[in-house]
Structure 1
Amino acid sequence: MEQIKSFFQNKYADFSEQDWLIISSKFIRREFPKKTLILKKGQVEDHVSFIEEGIVRYYIPKENKEVTFELTFSNDFIGAYDSFLTRLPSVYHIETITQTTLWRLSYHDVQMLYQDTEKGNLIGRLASEKLFLEKVKREISLLNDTAEQRYLNLFTEQPDLIKKIPLQYIASYIGITPQALSRIRRRIS
């Protein structure tokens, strides 16, 4: 729980001990084995989760392949936020890549925190803004950067963790084939 408290205080705002007691009482710790679907396409997302440890990917299942469009690492939040907000079924899967430990908040508890804590709405707004900015950054990278630059950026941001991600997921995430990724990796070695 200290990781979550530090995350909020370092990135957002201090909150009272009373608010922290309420917030921390709502989180539920869950462990998921490697390659576990946390959310299946067609389900409504009922949780936002903080990754204590692990790596998670978001992907769209296709007939011949899977399209990985997001990778999330320790000390960040995950969830099908579009489904969480709209209460409509998700159009993608969320899966653990490694053994993953999550601290989860239900939709009901998030709504309660917005109402019953002084900083709940502020934290929710700032977390939503962070997700929006990350999405824009990724879209701009896909439009402006070369595949090699996108790979190098990912490698720079997560040098140790990227070794734990299968190459086909990395290739899909940066928008290229595994063969093209192999050529990039040979060229920059």
Structure 2
Amino acid sequence: MNELRKFIDNISPMTDSDWEFFSSKLQEVKLKKNSTLLQVGKVENYLYFISKGIIRLYIPRVESDLTFGFLFENEFVTGYDSFLSRMPSEYQIETLTESVLWRISKKDLEEVYERTNNGNIIGRKMAENMFLIKSKREISLLNKTAEERYLNLFIERPKLLQQIQLKHIASYIGVTPQALSRIRKRIN
């Protein structure tokens, strides 16, 4: 939980009493590899902080899943659109490795926003950060070639290339595993 405190304090430091209140609402969750956090058709009820592990966001399809996000240690994960709208999710979230997460329910998070000095500031900054990540990904898909998107992963997320199956990386950059293999051969 110390890494979560450091993460939050980097955004907007909490007083000890606010941290005590916030941390009292957190629940530790330990999951095995390939565990589902959120299923298609279910409403997201939690915001998670990843203490350990790698998480994938994807749309399940018969022919092959469409991966659109990966999250790592010291990042938050949630089906944010479902979390906010209370509508069923159109995608799934799963662990790619054994994971340790800290979660807070929507109800408890709302209470933190109301009762702490800077809960709203932290929530707003996290929402802004999620928007920027999503926007950057959309622009990349529209403006860059698959090869450029793959090369950007080397620069921006080298952990991704070392720890995630190539089929998931191929889906993330918008190509088939065979096309990714050709891209990798050209680069090498």
TM-score with structure 2 length normalisation? 0.96
Does the 8 A contact of 1:98 with 1:164 survive in 2? no
Distance in 2 between residues matched to 1:135 and 1:161, nearest whole Å? 17
Q: CA deviation at 1:156?
A: 2.2
Give the partner amino acid of 1:2: N
Aligned twin of 1:27: 26
TM-superposed deviation, 1:158: 2.8
Q: Structure 1 residue 145: deviation in Å?
A: 1.5
Question: Deviation string for 1:140-170 (max 9, x for gaps)?
Answer: 1111122112112222223234222111110
Contact 2:153 2:160 (8 Å CA) reproduced: no
Percent of residue pairs bearing the same amino acid type: 50
Aligned-pair CA distance for 1:53: 1.1
Compute the displacement of 1:186 (Å).
1.3
* Structure 2 unaligned residues grouped into runs of 5+: none
**2 CA distance for matches of 1:15 and 1:160?**
30
In the other structure, the counterpart of 1:131 is 130
Q: Secondary structure at the match of 2:62?
A: coil
Kindly state the Cα deviation for residue 99 of structure 1 after the two structures are TM-superposed.
0.9
Q: Hey, which bits of structure 1, 4+ residues long, moved more than 6 A? A: none
Whether the 8 Å CA contact 2:30–2:99 is kept in 1: the answer is yes
Equivalent residue, structure 2, for 1:7: 7
- TM-score computed with the length of structure 1 as normaliser: 0.96
Q: Structure 2: which amino acid aligns with 1:181?
A: L
Amino acid at match of 1:51: I
After superposition, residues 27-66 of structure 1 pair within 5 angstroms as 27-66=26-65
Structure 1: segments with no counterpart, 5+ residues: none
Q: Give, in whole Å, the separation in 2 of the partners of 1:157 and 1:101.
A: 24
| Deviation string, structure 1 residues 57-101 (Cα, Å, up to 9, x no partner) | 111112322111111111100010000001111011101111111
Partners in 1 of 2:82 and 2:118 — Cα distance?
24
Q: Is the 8 A contact 2:47 2:77 kept in 1?
A: yes
Q: How large is the RMSD of aligned CA atoms in angstroms?
A: 1.1
C-alpha separation in 2, matches of 1:161 and 1:147: 16
Q: How many residues align?
A: 188
> Is 1:187 paired with 2:186?
yes
Question: What is the DSSP-based 3-state SS (H/G/I as helix, E as strand, rest coil) of the residue aligned with 1:140?
Answer: helix
Rounded to whole Å, the distance in 1 between the matches of 2:70 and 2:19 is: 29
